Amino acid sequence: MKKLSLFVLAIITALVLSACGSSSASTTEGKETVKVKIGVNGSDGIQWPILQEKAAKEGIEIELVEFADYTLPNNALAQGDIDLNAFQHLSFLSQYVKESGNDLIPIGSTMFAPLGVYSEKIKDISEIKEGDKIAIPDDPTNQARALRLLEAGKLITLADDFGLAGDPSQITENPLNLEIIPMVAQQTPRVLPDVTAAIINNGVAGQAGFSPGEDPIFKEAGDNESIYPYVNLIAARAEDKDNETFKRIVELYQEDDIKQAVAEDTKGGSSLVILTQEQLDETFSNLLK
């Protein structure tokens, strides 16, 4: 009986040691896995699985939470349903913070995705003629940005105090009497058969099957500080500004393999832009004024 008891004890000990070994194998360098939910608007970019794989090697499990439009990811972040989001530029975030009062902040830059003018009817913006219909996004910051793009194309003139959240009422000159039609950003590609041209967000264009690097007949330039308000970002709640895990996710995103993935995925339509935290903070602070 004594020998049997010792035998049973040995089996139990072996099972316990085996279980401990399995637990250790499921950790990364002795660290427990940290789960982070990131809200996105379109999770099909090839940078995301690359980021997830790199983060997993450091014990960070990234779950992508996809949202159907631009109004939901910031609310979800503010309410604590997700930990970070990555879908918007600085100007959009500043507008949300001013309107909602929720304390969200940028903790890292990601990419610059220029707005483009797309058309099924013309090949050059100079071909736009009297009375043509132009569709633009209707969210405040991208609407203003789209109107700025039409001004850059010498189609309209905007008021001197137009700013970053202006609207069509601040068009001071419209010599071609263009009919400018604001609409939900995701609808802009779908109305191309019915309008002369549409200004389409880079990500929305990609989802609609366009090549943002090749298909626009006119697009934003992205070579100076004027683009800072439109640089995309990773946002967090202000209370998490010093979270080391979140900072590490930003660092992993800004590495060369992600840079190459973004260029490849968008066929040159978007580019990784790395702003320092000081540049982010300064731009964001100015936008909040």
235 shares a domain with 165: no
- Asked, for residue 105, whether it belongs to a domain, the answer is yes
pLDDT band with cut points at 50, 70 and 90 for residue 14? very low
204 shares a domain with 235: no
190 shares a domain with 252: no
pLDDT band with cut points at 50, 70 and 90 for residue 18? very low
- Asked, for residue 22, whether it belongs to a domain, the answer is no
pLDDT at 30: 58
Tokens of 229: 């308000």
10 Å CB burial of residue 14 (0-12, 13-18, 19+) is: exposed
- Using CA atoms, how far apart are residues 235 and 50, in angstroms rounded to an integer? 20
Q: For residue 7, is pLDDT > 60? A: no
Q: What is the mean pLDDT of residues 266-289?
A: 91
CATH number at residue 282: 3.40.190.10
Question: How confident is the model over 221-277, as pLDDT tens digits?
Answer: 776 787 899 999 999 999 999 999 999 999 999 999 999 998 888 777 888 999 999
DSSP 3-state of 34: strand
The residue range of the domain holding 130 is 116-219
Count other C-beta atoms under 10 Å from residue 27's C-beta.
11
pLDDT at 199: 98
- Using CA atoms, how far apart are residues 117 and 134, in angstroms rounded to an integer? 9
* Residue of 109, 110, 39 lying closest to 72 (CA atoms): 39
pLDDT at 141: 77
- Asked, for residue 193, whether it belongs to a domain, the answer is yes
Q: What is the mean pLDDT of residues 195-204?
A: 93
- Asked, for residue 24, whether it belongs to a domain, the answer is no
Q: What is the mean pLDDT of residues 53-59?
A: 97
222/161: higher pLDDT: 161
Find out whether 115 and 149 touch, Cβ atoms under 8 Å: yes
Task: Fill in the amino acid letter for 276.
Answer: T
- Asked, for residue 9, whether it belongs to a domain, the answer is no
pLDDT band with cut points at 50, 70 and 90 for residue 70? confident
- Asked, for residue 75, whether it belongs to a domain, the answer is yes
Count other C-beta atoms under 10 Å from residue 227's C-beta.
16
267 shares a domain with 198: no
Q: For residue 9, is pLDDT > 90? A: no
pLDDT at 148: 92
User: For 58-74, b where at least 16 C-beta lie within 10 A, e where not — what string?
Assistant: ebbebebbebeebebbb
Q: Which of 219, 244, 275 is the last residue of a domain?
A: 219
HEC secondary structure over 176-205: CCCEEEEECHHHCCCCHHHCCEEEECHHHH
Tokens of 171: 């068009």
How many domains does one find in the chain? 2
Our CA dihedral for 157, 162, 168, 171, rounded to 10 degrees, sits at -30
pLDDT band with cut points at 50, 70 and 90 for residue 206? confident
Q: For residue 165, is pLDDT > 90? A: no
